[in-house]
Amino acid sequence: MRRVCTFPEYKTSNIPVKFKPASKFEAFILNRSTIFQKSFKGDAHSLSYVVLAVKAGRIYTPNSLIRNGIIVLENGKISYVGDDFDKAKDATILKFDDGICTPGFIDVHVHGGGGYDFADGSLEAFSEVCRYHVRGGTTSLLATILSSPIDYTLKILEAFKRSFNASKDGAEILGLHLEGPFLNPDMHGAHPVELLQTPSRELVEAFLNYTDIIKRITIAPEVSGGVEAVKAFSSKNVIVSIGHSNAPYEVVDKAYNAGLRHTTHLYNALGVSFKRGAYRVPGALESILALGGIMAEIIADGRHVHPILIHLAVKAKGFRRLCLVTDAMRAAGMSDGVYKLGSNAYGSNAIVKDGVSYTVDMRSFASTTISMVDTVRFMKSIGYPTRIALLMASTIPAKLLDISSRKGFLAPGFDGDLVVLDREFKVLLTTVRGRVVYAENRDFLGLS
Ligand SMILES: [Zn+2]
């Protein structure tokens, strides 16, 4: 059996890979987890020599599949991927002979988990949500804020600026995703309709002061000033996503030309084709499917979207333009009950029954309680190959966020973000920047 099989897409030769060791100070900050201290070489002042290796039965890089391979993590980065075990001779080796190793999952749409919501705006909330989601294999994410009063959102932005990635044992926050408030009131879904706004120049300017941390904003381009707002944000390198929208084709096309690049939960809260007189014209959904340059995300939880619709999206756009997201809320990892989607102060109530989150009238879903690994497992269950499902959860979102030179691949020089799954796609191990942040069974640790 060939141990290394290379897939045609994503040739490593296209990826700039240069291994740059972190400074000793950075290594100290990155590596202070107690689990990781098992692999310290030398004294506490030489932490930059810490080496950890993960051995797995199958490693999806994901441009190749390596059987019985090893990944060496040093100073927060990957220093080796392959089947030469000599490269790990100085490392503490964590062995997962039946394990599937993949780049860490990148969730570009997540509100909360473990009882907290990013919109709570506190340091504790940021840390706890990130700590919760490593259990599901998420290694980095966009902290998503539900529509909130403008003053409150600005306060969150300030708080977020101060405490960016305060937690060192959770997923890395890559930036913020404002889901609203510039949405169409007719398509508000679980967003409090009274909090939606039209994007006046003044409001847009207020948010533009924070484009160093706002990485993405969801806008309904058909609202008054919508296309101008798309242009204003995209010109500042904020990824603009169409969502909670019933824009007709002409408006979607204008927004596309103004810089629209992504779609918020494809099929959910998006208008469909309609009749203009006797003539049937494309709605937001068909326009997005038709415009090849627009990427999209899917809540692949087996509830929000029928598998046939997922197949249709893959046919129309190709899996290289589709990301898997959780859109999870604070009830993820909690028992059934009533929870706030969004902040405790301004969010909407959601009823969680049998682990499924509904609006209070129980007629719609309100966010989810899933993890990224659940979306991968679901894609497998409806017929997608493991590699494609893993790509849609890691490599493609990295491409969307324009960080695919450092995340979304297992290759030397890339961040040490990886996940090991068992055969049933249960998470066994998660590392973020080379640190073990989650281990399902601590007995796995220290076996070398
Ligand atoms: Zn959302």
Please indicate, yes or no, whether residues 432 and 364 belong to a single structural domain of this protein: no
Question: By the 8 A CB rule, do 282 and 288 touch?
Answer: no
pLDDT, tens digit (0-9, with 9 covering 90-100), for 146-202: 999 999 999 999 988 866 666 678 999 999 999 999 999 999 999 999 999 999 999
pLDDT for residue 32? 27
144 and 188 co-located in one domain: yes
Q: What order of strands is seen across the sheet that includes strand 337-341?
A: 337-341, 348-353, 356-359
| Together in a domain, 307 and 437 | no
Q: Which residues contact 146 (CB under 8 A, 6 or more apart)?
A: 111, 117, 119, 179, 180, 190, 191, 341, 342, 343, 347, 348
**Do 133 and 91 sit in the same domain of this protein?**
no
- What's the CA-to-centroid distance between 327 and ligand 1, angstroms? 5
Q: CB-based contacts of 222: which residues, under 8 Å, 6+ apart?
A: 184, 245, 246, 247, 248, 251
Residue 23 clears pLDDT 50, i.e. is over it: no
Mean pLDDT of 63-70: 94
DSSP-derived pairing of the beta strands 138-146 and 172-179: parallel
**CATH number of the CATH domain containing 274:** 3.20.20.140
Same domain, 192 and 264: yes
Residue-wise pLDDT tens digits, 398-427: 999 999 999 999 999 999 999 999 999 999
Name the residue with higher pLDDT: 89 or 5. Answer: 89
pLDDT per position as a tens digit, 100-118:
999 999 999 999 999 999 9
Tell how far the Cα of 178 is from the centroid of ligand 1, in angstroms. Answer: 9
In this structure, the answer to whether residues 236 and 385 fall within a common structural domain is yes
189-248 per-position pLDDT tens digit: 999 999 999 999 999 999 999 999 999 999 999 999 999 999 999 999 999 999 999 999
Q: Are residues 21 and 132 in the same domain?
A: no
d(CA 163, ligand 1 centre) in Å = 22
Residues 203 and 322 in one domain: yes
CA 326 – ligand 1 centroid, Å: 9
* Residues, beta carbon < 5 Å, ion ligand 1: 179, 327
Judgement on whether residues 159 and 211 belong to the same structural domain of the protein: yes
Distance of CA 144 from the midpoint of ligand 1 (Å): 7
- Tell me the CA–centroid distance for residue 235 and ligand 1, in Å: 24
Copy the structure tokens of residue 40: 């310290």
CA–centroid distance, residue 446 to ligand 1 (Å): 39
Confidence of residue 98 (pLDDT cuts 50, 70, 90): very high
Do 349 and 301 share a domain, yes or no? yes
* Full domain range(s) for residue 27: 4-104+408-444
Ligand 1: centre distance to CA 17 (Å): 34
Q: How far is the CA of 180 from the centre of ligand 1 (A)?
A: 9
Peptide bond into 181 cis (omega under 30): yes
| Contact in structure between 47 and 28 (CB atoms under 8 Å) | yes
Which pLDDT does position 311 carry in this prediction?
97
Q: 284: how many CB neighbours lie within 10 A of its CB? A: 30
Question: Ligand 1 centroid vs 319 CA: distance in angstroms?
Answer: 21
pLDDT mean over 29-45: 30
Q: How far is the CA of 166 from the centre of ligand 1 (A)?
A: 23
37, 153: one domain: no
* d(CA 404, ligand 1 centre) in Å: 24
Amino acid at 370: I
Question: Taking the model in full, what pTM does it have?
Answer: 0.89
